[in-house]
Structure 1
């Protein structure tokens, strides 16, 4: 299985060459040197140089000299000939004569063949810029074809380069084009471009750096595209302005690589995920152009012969639901907690209900549900005593979880109830003729449904609302009892994955400082995840550990995110997981649990088809009403077949 099929990645780069103003021969040699290194040592497939990189941007009235213009064309011809063995699209900037005018252009070529020439659309003529003195706008062109380097080539600001073997589609714009209210790249993206190249010459003044960076980030996000931006470097003339060689590789709103004020002659590269971008676009049904304008585009095909990537230049986050930095994690936790608590508060306010009932087990999920309820009641200025927490010890309850449940409820000042389910379950076993010594699914589910019945009945008695505690990861795997803990009146954690639940509780504990509440919360986060439906071991510790039965939630949350958020195939998810969890999980183990994930995800859809209401918090949610609509009897065979073909 090739890396191309597995990853859907393409390696792209930006380069800031050394240059001499007005010396295309020198500049061409530097471009050639960088291009050969980028292609042969790093297998970069698309490489972008700055605006007017063959001549230099700051040539001034020298642009009107025939000698310079001829030298630029000769350099381009020599550059194409010397790089024709490279399997790489190269984008360079140069002045080009056409239609009795001069245009500031990007020239894109591959294996010695010009794919197209893109003239600059918006030519600045204000402040320190006076390009109209030399250059016409691409909108003023007459011809759609020009003769260049002995070829008749496409000359258009509506140019798309399409890879015949993948969904990669390239378009280009030049510097000022991005600063316009409606950049050409916005239109290009609507008609298929997912990799935008910007050959730029943006000088440095105080405050401009951050503004320019935000422009690139926002445009890549708005276009759901990768955006390669590279500006002229420090070797440009400093007669009136200074250039920094600011370069950025952005992908859908995130800066992946960046350079500024670095030594000339360098390049950066990154592996962008075209499959990810296109999956995002397909979900967005407003992302489309008009049929009447599509005909204006010139579409040129190309094909790469070798796209294999031996070592990915891209960070694969093992915890996609959890921000890596503590600062961002704190911000995210605050936001999530607010969304959850406001969702519950509004449900109570609109129904006129003044009480909630929660089953408190001493585990992570019920703890988070309780903390969110506290926040909602404080927001509504309703007494915490109207939160009825019920601990319901059963055959698998351990002293650790039992004590933590009681301690937390008392310290938080809610109403505490304790109702043992043992006698009721024993009677029920007798009623249905089940042997108590047979610890099967019936033994477990009887307890789960008994607890739910107690919660529902107490809610009726008190005129309250049952707050559900189950999380997103459990719903994805169907790790809940149908019409047991699966059911509630408002599922507050329904879109919170297990890995994030832990961080939310830890964040709340840190917020509490050195208190008994904080200590209890931290002990809860360190308790093994378990439904506690089977008896404890001889030492009274948890015997039934969820992650030993169905797999580690770190893995399952990674699988879930990449399947639902990006629509990746099983083989791609497996490959990414082997990178993300390298050194922690063996490939065989990852494959084993990925098979479990797919089988459970498909077979347990019937539980998700009848979920109670609950607030959507992140980009992934399994609500059958708004986010995930899947038949309960769908087949998982083709997904499992793909995994069965993987050899570790």
Structure 2
């Protein structure tokens, strides 16, 4: 007998650090594999973190979040009953390994580290991982605590091992191990391994797929076996594109192969292959110096000072007799007789600075640049770029017919940013133009090397225009932060006596790309960035040197910035930095090469190797920050900390507990006091009556303490967190309600009404009377609110339980029907097969056969018409299984009403109004206004309830009604404007006076509901009869013969004097006065044993439907025992409440089911998909 195994491999479009999205894609691949019967699922390399994390692998956050995702995978029901093989980095004994984690049913079976790492071409795995150099050896790996809690394991096997099952043996390889000459599958195959798995992160190159296929085929060609290869696909954040192409080979033959460039559920970015910035310079053009766009800011001034410092060092070297330096200087200036004497003189020869002004430039920056150029001796040029900017924008305007404006002139953010970028990029073009031709214009040979001046902080934040003056031949300050540049400027002031730098140091950093206001600068860099340069410097050091991700940076900064920023502010700053960093990281790929000056340099693809495509929302990391923030969120200044320690001290907490005890104990002290000195009633003294106002004063003191408590708590944790805590909000409502109750109590008289007390004592003299009095109060016609509340509450409870049973019944019915539909399809397939004489199984049926069979089927005409109409749409003459199933989906729905399209308005203002007035919240607001209308009318009627009709003041009520009527009319007009008249009348809820339409709709639904209800009433009625009979028998057993008439009543009613009147007095409203004598559990007029049960049934019916049923309960309590009320209360709850509400729930469920069918949602999509898969699997 052969053995069969179902295996699954996959290609996933994973994204670096997108832990949430990666988790979803992994679970989806497991779910699909299980649906196809697979028992082993293989995924690509490092699929949890993403393959191209680069230096993010150094961060502890990356390892932490990988284990958090692994925890989610372990506990997910989707990953149960299937062996899952996932990839992630793992730190073992302080060494980071590229690993496979293999688990089954919440148990980790093996962690298999990579043994051969890729370190050629585009791969630098040795930079982040170490290879496992212990073949065929395993060690114990101590799991993190979060994983231990899920798996129940403290340690698992870590190392080179294979997985052995009852059926076969599975061995793992990882990417480069397949490409190595000593691949592990060679030895594993000789040792009996039958299934080889390979999780890869192999990028696309021309003809590389052929090599990959050949390697997979050769792996099993000699020794035999099954080889599974999983590969990453898409662009996961770097320059490489992974082409997927997962495959399965058996004994050297490819039996299954995935698409190489699949577009399924992914968005493919432009593939770039090993792009490398290469600057080409003409060798025949000698460079004769440098050109720097000098803006008058710190950055360009620092670059100018570096050139000046170089000139100073050159002059010093020449004076010291360095002939090589002198030869180099003469070659650069093209003068074999030249000997530099002063650094300013040399600057004038080799250094050109230019101030590129625009209409947005201020005179201050122009003067500062001119003064600095004068002090360092550079050849300085002033030019204006407005003509070029207007020409560029004019070309755009000529093509499009629109002229963009700055934000201050009414333009949008897009217009504002575009106009800024045009200025910046024109400056770059002019810089290269002047670098090539300015010496030619001065009749000097050679060209100039363009210098850039973008600092580390701007590069890290991305606060620069791509291809502006940051694009140069070389950037001397590209590896230095703004903070360090300030220190360098200060050094130049003190050592080079460059006094022009003082005003540059004090000026706020600005790009001067937006219009001035009265000649003054309105735009500043730090305001545009949303952070200061000092903060950026801190971010850069923590990100690179301390290897912090978002979560680690937040944890460090809440301590570093303690007393400066609150935890909430720190969280907001960290999130803002990482969002802007990830959005602008792509700019680093085109950045000018810079001198590597500091360990915090963000130099892309050279020192700081990170992807340039991120999930800029950082959902998982930011959620961790939010969770940590909520756990530590309180004020951290010294004053708040003292208040915090005082509030949570033992004295304060004991005092708060004592206050709660006092407020609860006051209830026993209030008049009349329940406190006594003795429990023996013979020796008990009269209860103490506290003075009027004593308990109210104690309550007020307690309330003030509670108000102070909630005030201190809200101050310590902050209002933002306070309003998120539902318990604290409820605390405030309880205090407010208690104070309101206290105010009402204070307004009452201290002396109570003796008549009122006597009335209360008559109904609440003992426990049975108190309980029944409360129940009567709830159920009498004079006070029906309690009954309504109780019935609605029980309806909600019963309906919540009942609808689940009915929904299961509906789903079972759907399953049976779809099973029958599929069976019919299979029968017709077999008939087609016999008619055509084909031996193979037929997968389609003839459309004409289906239509012919439908003509003889007895179903509702509109169902049949819809099915036939849909079947006729298949013009090719054949219907597949899925199409056949969809034909009969018409049975699950009725005609769905399509609303007319909304009117289209051209003006943006009208479109916004249409969106507002067509939104569901506008209708909700109308419902709130209607509720307010009812409340106002009720309040007005209650206020004037005690007045005579002639004394009613109706002006106020009339004004309220007039206001509401105007609102309803206005609402109707606005909705007609939003939906159009046809769209308005198509929605019955939108018609102001559409009572008839709504009534007809409700009548249609109610009629169909009752029609569907009949089939469910049989079981309902049967249960009701059984319970009815059981209570009748129990009542006869308990109360037969307990009702006895007074002594003179038996002689009153006789045949000789049927109309005789007896002088018998009874209390009004009692059993005797109302002459309810026939309502009992016995029958004096008959000796049959059956009729007492009939009398009991009549009595139970009367209790169920008669409003004053408490009369019967009172009579039986007097004639038998007060505890007989328990029987009657139980019957009343069972009959009048529970059965009525169960019946209402049944009607409601049928009603909703009918409504759901109309709206095409009888069961959820998940249930429908599950039902469909169940039917299909039975015919597989």
Normalised to the residue count of structure 1, the TM-score between the two structures is 0.45
- Greater Rg by CA: 2
Where relative contact order (Cα < 8 A, 6+ residues apart) is larger, the structure is 1
Higher fraction of strand: 1
Higher fraction of helix: 2
